[in-house]
Amino acid sequence: MIALRTHSSQLPPWAGWLAVGLAGLLMALLLVVALGRPPPVASGPEGAAAAGDLVSYQRIVERLRAGADYYVAAHEVLVADGFGVTSVFNWRLPGWASLMAALPDGWLQGGLAALAVGGLLLVYRMLRDDGPLVAGLASLAVGLSLAGIAVPESAAFSEVAAGTLILVSVAAYGNGWRWAGLAAGLAALFLRELAAPYVVVALAMAVGRRQWREAAGWGIGLAAFAVYFGWHWWRVIGTIVAGDPGYVEGWIQFGGLDFVLATAGFNGLLSLAPEWVTALLMPMALLGLWAWPKGGRALWTVLAFVALFLVVGKPFNAYWGALYTPVLMLGLGWAPAAIVAGIAGARETRGR
């Protein structure tokens, strides 16, 4: 492990221990948030709202299978279930629900599981030259994050599908398959507009590296998505009628670390662990992504989502974390090397 050259190997000795110190500070802050929460109440309004999202989405799919138009079905269900519908951002894009309705039961979940396995294989291939410990730890962590797909209800969350595609995109880039990475990233965006932070990161990296053909590909994809979202907006506006319910509060909530911790906890099998476990793992994973010499894409992706969720998102939207937690878990493979490098840097600094 000590022989591994981390990102801090190219920086002054103090950079490693400073990064470890900042990770420790973040860990302390997240632990304060986690341990300061009141005990969860199963029947609380946040849990009811999150469960309501899933149940309502399944009811929309049932209507689609019966031949209903997506926007008519969504309007009926959302209004009947007490959701606000006057903002287009309260309406999901129709793609994932249409796929669920078109395929027999279990097929979409099976396809999603196959995609997750493919992503996991790409992760191992990307990291195998970094040594068995790094590749093994990262693959195990990512595998635990993706294992939630085994739960049938998970297939209803377009965030799970989009997050899996984002992981596949990051891993494809890590293996040198840029066009496959671009295709997977755009597919994630067309499934869930909340995948936009990853697309922005990928476009910025392409421009920064002067990879103009790739940047053009992202630009064309974004233009196509703008047309698609414009059509979606037009359909929503045409479906809303006078007297439809809306929300007094918008999506700008400034939930801060409290909401970020909640999203980081929506993380496959790790969702079953106490919240303090997430408070420990998230800073370690971020530290590992920073230490990983080729981890820039993954790190900036996670930071982009974290920055967004510091501001945007209601308490019951914790499942949005599925968009970035598989990529976040990549960092656990490099976390031990980062800690070792930080300790070594601190000793070298003290010895001067």
Per-residue pLDDT tens digits of the chain, which is 352 residues long:
345 565 555 555 656 667 788 888 999 999 999 988 776 544 333 333 445 677 888 889 999 999 999 999 999 998 888 888 888 888 899 999 999 999 888 888 899 999 999 999 999 999 998 889 999 999 999 999 999 898 888 888 899 999 999 999 999 999 999 999 999 999 999 999 999 999 999 999 999 999 999 999 999 999 999 999 999 999 999 999 888 887 777 778 898 999 999 999 999 999 889 999 999 999 999 999 998 988 899 999 999 999 999 999 888 889 999 999 999 999 999 888 888 766 655 444 444 4
Identify the CA nearest to 118 among candidates 152, 143, 138, 135: 143
CA distances (Å), 307 to each of 26, 127, 201, 254, in order? 14, 27, 13, 10
d(CA 205, CA 167): 16
What's residue 46's pLDDT? 35
Burial tier of 255 (Cβ tally within 10 Å: 0-12, 13-18, 19+): buried
Burial tier of 228 (Cβ tally within 10 Å: 0-12, 13-18, 19+): middle
Q: Are the CB atoms for 334 and 292 separated by under 8 Å?
A: yes
Angle of helix 196-208 versus helix 296-309 axis, rounded to 10 = 140
What's residue 39's pLDDT? 62
Quote the radius of gyration of the chain (alpha carbons, Å): 21
What's residue 31's pLDDT? 93
What's residue 52's pLDDT? 65
d(CA 320, CA 328): 14
Q: Which value, to the nearest 10 degrees, does the dihedral of the CA atoms of residues 335, 339, 344, 346 take?
A: 130
What's residue 1's pLDDT? 39
Q: Are the CB atoms for 300 and 331 separated by under 8 Å?
A: no
Q: Which residues pair with 171 in a beta bridge?
A: none
Only one residue has tokens 């790409």, namely 122
Q: Are the CB atoms for 172 and 122 separated by under 8 Å?
A: yes
d(CA 58, CA 190): 20
> In the structure encoding, which two tokens stand for residue 159, read together?
């965030």
pTM summary value: 0.91
> In the structure encoding, which two tokens stand for residue 230, read together?
């414009």
What's residue 42's pLDDT? 42
d(CA 265, CA 122): 24
d(CA 32, CA 223): 43
List b or e across 313-331, with b for residues whose CB sees 16 or more CB atoms inside 10 angstroms: bbbbbbbbbbbbbbbbbbb
Amino acid at 68: A
CA distances (Å), 69 to each of 93, 97, 286, in order? 13, 11, 43
What's residue 40's pLDDT? 54
Q: What single DSSP character describes residue 312? A: B
